[in-house]
Chains A and B, each alone.
Chain A
Amino acid sequence: MRPGDIAALWLTLRLASTTALLLLIMGTPLAWWLASTRSRLRPLVEAVVAMPLVLPPTVLGFYLLVLLAPGGPIGRLWASVGGGPLVFSFGGLVIGSLLYSFPFVVQPLASSFEAIDPLALEGAATLGAGPVDRFFTVAVPLARKGFLTALTLSFAHTLGEFGVVLMIGGNIPGRTRVLSIAIYDHVEALDYASAHLLSAILLVVSFVLLVAVAALGRRTTRLRLP
Chain B
Amino acid sequence: MKGLEARFRFTRGALKLAVELALGRGEWCALSGPSGVGKSTLLRCLAGLEAGVEGLISNGGRTWLDSERGAEVPAHKRELGVVFQDAPLLPHRSVQGNLAYAERRARAAPPRAFARREVEEWTGVTPLLERAPRDLSGGERQRVALARALLTAPSFLLLDEPFSALDPEARDEIIIRLRRETAERAVGVLWVSHAEEDVRRGASRLLELVPGDNGSVVREKEVLSRPLGKAVEGRVESRP
Cβ contacts under 8 Å, B107 to chain A: 128
Are B82 and A120 closer than 8 Å at their CB atoms?
A: no
Are A126 and B93 closer than 8 Å at their CB atoms?
A: no
Q: List A169-208 residues whose CB lies under 8 Å from chain B.
A: none
Q: List A67-100 residues whose CB lies under 8 Å from chain B.
A: none
Given the known A-B contacts A117-B91, A120-B90, A120-B91, are A127 and B101 also in contact in the complex, defined by CB atoms under 8 Å?
yes
Are B49 and A125 closer than 8 Å at their CB atoms?
A: yes
Nearest Cβ in chain B — how far from A42, in angstroms?
18
Are B47 and A126 closer than 8 Å at their CB atoms?
A: yes
Are B102 and A225 closer than 8 Å at their CB atoms?
A: no
Nearest Cβ in chain A — how far from B114, in angstroms?
14
Are A126 and B90 closer than 8 Å at their CB atoms?
A: no
Q: List A119-134 residues whose CB lies under 8 Å from chain B.
A: 119-120, 122-131, 133-134
Are A129 and B76 closer than 8 Å at their CB atoms?
A: yes
Are B97 and A127 closer than 8 Å at their CB atoms?
A: no
Given the known A-B contacts A137-B101, A226-B97, are A126 and B92 also in contact in the complex, defined by CB atoms under 8 Å?
no
Tell which of A119, A127, A138 touches B102, judged by Cβ atoms closer than 8 Å.
Answer: A127
Are B105 and A129 closer than 8 Å at their CB atoms?
A: yes
Task: Please measure, in the bound complex, the distance between the C-alpha atom of A127 and the C-alpha atom of B101, giving whole angstroms.
Answer: 8
What 0/1 readout, one digit per residue, does chain A (122-152) give for beta carbons within 8 Å of chain B? 1111111111011001100110000000000
Are A124 and B91 closer than 8 Å at their CB atoms?
A: no
Cβ contacts under 8 Å, A142 to chain B: 91-92
- Number of chain B residues close to chain A: CB under 8 A: 29
Tell which of B74, B89, B148 touches A130, judged by Cβ atoms closer than 8 Å.
Answer: B74
Q: Identify the interface centre among B76, B106, B132: most chain A CB within 10 Å of its CB.
A: B76
Task: Please measure, in the bound complex, the distance between the C-alpha atom of A117 and the C-alpha atom of B84, giving whole angstroms.
Answer: 14
Main secondary structure of the interface of A (DSSP, over half): helix
Cβ contacts under 8 Å, B97 to chain A: 225-226
- Number of chain A residues close to chain B: CB under 8 A: 21
Cβ contacts under 8 Å, A131 to chain B: 76
A222 and chain B: residue at smallest CB distance: B132
Task: Please measure, in the bound complex, the distance between the C-alpha atom of A116 and the C-alpha atom of B2, giving whole angstroms.
Answer: 38
What 0/1 readout, one digit per residue, does chain B (166-177) give for beta carbons within 8 Å of chain A? 000000000000
Cβ contacts under 8 Å, A130 to chain B: 74, 76-77
B152 at the interface (CB under 8 A from A): yes
Task: Please measure, in the bound complex, the distance between the C-alpha atom of A226 and the C-alpha atom of B98, giving whole angstroms.
Answer: 9
A223 and chain B: residue at smallest CB distance: B92
Nearest Cβ in chain B — how far from A148, in angstroms?
14
Are A127 and B148 closer than 8 Å at their CB atoms?
A: yes
Cβ contacts under 8 Å, A134 to chain B: 76
Cβ contacts under 8 Å, B91 to chain A: 117, 120, 142
Are B93 and A225 closer than 8 Å at their CB atoms?
A: yes
Task: Please measure, in the bound complex, the distance between the C-alpha atom of A87 and the C-alpha atom of B101, giving whole angstroms.
Answer: 50
Tell which of A117, A128, A226 touches B88, judged by Cβ atoms closer than 8 Å.
Answer: A117
B48 and chain A: residue at smallest CB distance: A125
Tell which of B49, B88, B148 touches A120, judged by Cβ atoms closer than 8 Å.
Answer: B88
Cβ contacts under 8 Å, B77 to chain A: 128, 130
Given the known A-B contacts A120-B90, A225-B92, A226-B97, are A125 and B105 also in contact in the complex, defined by CB atoms under 8 Å?
no
Chain B residues near A (Cβ < 8 Å): 47-49, 74-77, 80-82, 84, 87-94, 97, 101-102, 105-107, 132, 148-149, 152
- Other A-B pairs beyond A120-B89, A141-B92, A142-B91, 20, CB < 8 Å: A117-B88, A117-B91, A119-B84, A119-B87, A119-B88, A123-B87, A125-B48, A125-B74, A126-B49, A126-B149, A127-B149, A128-B77, A128-B102, A128-B107, A129-B105, A130-B74, A134-B76, A137-B101, A225-B94, A225-B132
